Structure 1
């Protein structure tokens, strides 16, 4: 199944020019990349600022948990509704309104934190609103690249987006720490609000026409139709299930047992270098895949995803910091590859009229088991030991990453 861009004449060259297309030659894509990158920078700063802002005022980890949960819960609860709405409304309009809404909520949070006597209840309420708005706008991003770039240029476009996000993961937390140290958490959140305003301006430059939708069908009918579409495309749900299992293992072992082990072995500084190496690997692969022609892109992504087992194995074997850094870098290469492969495959092979809804179900499915992995990691390690669980987890991760290749529709999926 292929997508059908709604009006190629407004945003992309004639199909005869597709093979020579560079995303840089599409002004609308440059606006989207710029706005998204700036918004990602603010989002990368916000969690660090919020953590220190709440702890500085209350000193309570329980209060911090409430604030973080207030944002994450609506983000999950409203995501499928956001996907249905994104398939009904013009992407430009939805993203502009969403960024304006997030600018308002984060600006209000900054005001509360800078007031001198912040209200925890107000921060919780505002973060809940921020999470809900993000849930309604995140699925809309799935349809942006297909509306601007023809199939031949989407891998390069997604490589640019992935590379940008990888760079922000390295820069954002560092910048947040500097701003918090010099000016306070409130000002770091204020910068986040400003990035949303700038992103809204950039999204307003996208000439994406409204999608044709059956408005009389009803929003909940759209949600059900999106679920049917998700289930009907075998390669989509198979890969989503595989990513669900892989993320569960990764979150538990790398996210929980990793820093626990590092605290008693290589130390916090070296562990920070290990995590940074993964982000660098992601960035490097994004640069490589910008020009690397790959026909069976999804298969390529899952083969490289299996490299994520290496740092888990290294953790279990209790190797030195240098080998852990190397393993994390290699795993970052795999993460970068599968991120680009998956985004491009969805954009090129899922019908555009259900793309946002399918993307919403994919996001939920891929990450729904993360809390399970985080919760089980400690008890399992207490029973069998961290090295044993890490080695077993590495095996499970590698097998899970490669299992989708046994499905014909995954192996046969080809890019034009």
Structure 2
């Protein structure tokens, strides 16, 4: 750790080191969860429809609880909120182990547990977003986010592999128990993070919700980008999750294995860029960020124009790198420009606006891919993605947003 701390100043900060260890274990465990849960559902009912019901229950509860998750994370100690969510997730996994071992598991039980897990995630995500600025100095925010992104992107590879190996070697119940134990370890490590007591909220829960909304809508750069991402995420997830596998399966020049390579290339692009951004600072936050994320339009277009493995993998790598530029720039902008006392609430509005149209996108592209020609559909989708992403730069507050000097950032947080 000393060698890493010398290379990465953010690791010299004790509280962040414990938070980083906790989040790393939690992230790897979280990436194992979809694999273990999917095998659990298919063990009960070997039907894609059953898996869809469970996933929908989890996603639906997540969206429903996001705003209240932001309020609670600003109202109570964020470390405590995160620890509680980790313990709830551990309880969900260990309850499922008991149900499977006793032969009592059903799709209904899985859906109910999925809903509890989705709700816990809705409280955990805003708390995490609001906690990081309390742990690191302002000048280290980008490095902290890049380091966390490196772990998250790496876990995208490692987590599913570990989950699959555990299921194959230990069996489903023991694999789920290991997954649940990872949440317990993460909660224990988070206890080492020492923060001053949180100030008691002077307003009601719904009053705080209104305060978060007022903070959100008062910043044009914020709501413009969130509005854009409501469209961008619907397009990207709709194409990448629904149409992409269909194209791959029916195109011998790509195929299922080729599609796996393409998805891996995208994740590698994000991983590599997260390493680069530990050292290279972004100054023009949203100009660089929105230009970076617009690069996702390239693989979307190429999927329709020339769906071959190698060029599509290269394009996905570039798109993944651009996505990471935006992700880091956006996180730093939020942490610098939003007062810490309302950061979790504002983050919950951000997440809600960005995620809410994703189910619409998946349903719409599923329908369109079955009723229109896929090639022109993807060309139009990729073109719309680029237009929407780059059009945000027509807004002066988006185009001109830069890093704040340390003194100014401290005043904004006061």
TM-score higher than 0.5 here? Answer: yes
Q: Pick from 91, 110, 113 the counterpart of residue 78 of structure 2.
A: 91
Give yes or no for the alignment of 1:243 onto 2:243.
no
Q: Pick from 318, 325, 328 the counterpart of residue 340 of structure 1.
A: 328
What's 2:172 paired with?
185
What's 1:349 paired with?
337
CA distance in 2, matches of 1:403, 1:210: 43
Matches within 5 A, 1:123-142: 123-142=110-129
Cα root mean square deviation, aligned = 1.6
What per-residue deviation string (whole Å, max 9, x for no partner) do you get for residues 291-349 of structure 1? Answer: 10221122211111111011111101133110111111111101111111111110011
What's 2:358 paired with?
370
What's 1:258 paired with?
244
Unaligned stretches of 5+ residues in structure 1: 1-19
CA distance in 2, matches of 1:305, 1:111: 43
CA change 1:322–1:21 in 2 (3 A) is closer
What's 1:10 paired with?
none
SS of the residue aligned with 2:306?
coil
What per-residue deviation string (whole Å, max 9, x for no partner) do you get for residues 85-121 of structure 1? Answer: 1111111111112211211121111222233442433
CA distance in 2, matches of 1:84, 1:75: 14
SS of the residue aligned with 1:206?
coil
What's 2:60 paired with?
73
Q: Pick from 11, 16, 31 the counterpart of residue 29 of structure 1.
A: 16
Give yes or no for the alignment of 1:40 onto 2:27.
yes
8 Å contact from structure 2 (residues 44, 106) kept in 1: no
What's 1:143 paired with?
130
8 Å contact from structure 1 (residues 279, 329) kept in 2: yes
Q: Pick from 253, 274, 294 the counterpart of residue 282 of structure 2.
A: 294
8 Å contact from structure 2 (residues 39, 172) kept in 1: yes
What's 1:394 paired with?
382
What's 1:6 paired with?
none
Q: TM-score, normalised by structure 2?
A: 0.92
Count of aligned pairs between the two proteins: 396
Report deviation, 1:243: 1.2
Report deviation, 1:383: 4.2
Report deviation, 1:153: 0.6
What's 1:17 paired with?
none
What's 2:4 paired with?
none
Unaligned stretches of 5+ residues in structure 2: 1-6, 406-414
8 Å contact from structure 1 (residues 91, 208) kept in 2: no
What's 2:409 paired with?
none
SS of the residue aligned with 1:209?
coil
What's 2:263 paired with?
275
Report deviation, 1:64: 2.0
What per-residue deviation string (whole Å, max 9, x for no partner) do you get for residues 128-150 of structure 1? Answer: 22222222222101112110112
CA distance in 2, matches of 1:143, 1:29: 13
8 Å contact from structure 2 (residues 65, 119) kept in 1: yes
CA distance in 1, matches of 2:316, 2:197: 42
CA distance in 2, matches of 1:121, 1:380: 31
8 Å contact from structure 1 (residues 313, 390) kept in 2: yes
Report deviation, 1:222: 1.0
8 Å contact from structure 2 (residues 18, 190) kept in 1: yes
Greater Cα offset, 395-404 or 356-365 = 395-404
Q: Pick from 204, 219, 231 the counterpart of residue 217 of structure 2.
A: 231
Q: Pick from 204, 214, 232 the counterpart of residue 191 of structure 2.
A: 204
8 Å contact from structure 1 (residues 227, 358) kept in 2: yes
CA distance in 2, matches of 1:106, 1:268: 31
Report deviation, 1:395: 0.9
What per-residue deviation string (whole Å, max 9, x for no partner) do you get for residues 262-300 of structure 1? Answer: 001122111111101111000001001111022112221
CA distance in 2, matches of 1:313, 1:127: 35
CA distance in 2, matches of 1:24, 1:229: 31
What per-residue deviation string (whole Å, max 9, x for no partner) do you get for residues 156-204 of structure 1? Answer: 1000011110000111111211112222332222222111111101211
8 Å contact from structure 2 (residues 96, 105) kept in 1: no
What's 2:153 paired with?
166
What's 2:373 paired with?
385
Q: TM-score, normalised by structure 1?
A: 0.92
